[in-house]
Amino acid sequence: DSGVTQTPKHLITATGQRVTLRCSPRSGDLSVYWYQQSLDQGLQFLIQYYNGEERAKGNILERFSAQQFPDLHSELNLSSLELGDSALYFCASTPGVAGGVYNEQFFGPGTRLTVL
């Protein structure tokens, strides 16, 4: 157990719908990262938040958005869902000292999203 939690574990929805994925980082970690992993594909970085502020952005679609709340949990919102959005969505956390030495990213168990 990495200490990072994600809910829900599985999500099945229809095209055009909107869903919210939730991530709680390890206690004390300030940075949260979101990744998308499609079937048999690599890990695509979506977005990073550090202490409530967006810090880095990857190939995140405009239909997707995220935020990190004062209690440091994060939510990834996916709207106007398409079949191709079906994937495993992971979040990860690090202590994330800004500009400091980089530390290991601890991954959550993932949310498996199926769009029908």
Q: Interface with another protein includes 36 (CB under 8 A)?
A: no
Q: Taking the CA atoms of 74, 34, 65 and 99 in sequence, report the sign of the dihedral they define.
A: positive
Interacting stretch for another protein, rule CB under 8 A, among 12-20, 21-29, 74-82, 92-100?
Answer: 92-100
Query: Shortest Cβ distance from residue 7 to another protein (Å)?
Result: 14
Query: Shortest Cβ distance from residue 76 to another protein (Å)?
Result: 16
Segment 38-77, which members bind another protein (CB under 8 A)?
41-43, 45, 48, 50, 55-56, 58
Distances (CA, A) of 40 to 7, 21, 65, 79: 22, 21, 24, 23
* Residue 1 vs 71, nearer CB to another protein: 1
> How far is the C-alpha of 114 from the C-alpha of 72, rounded, in Å?
27
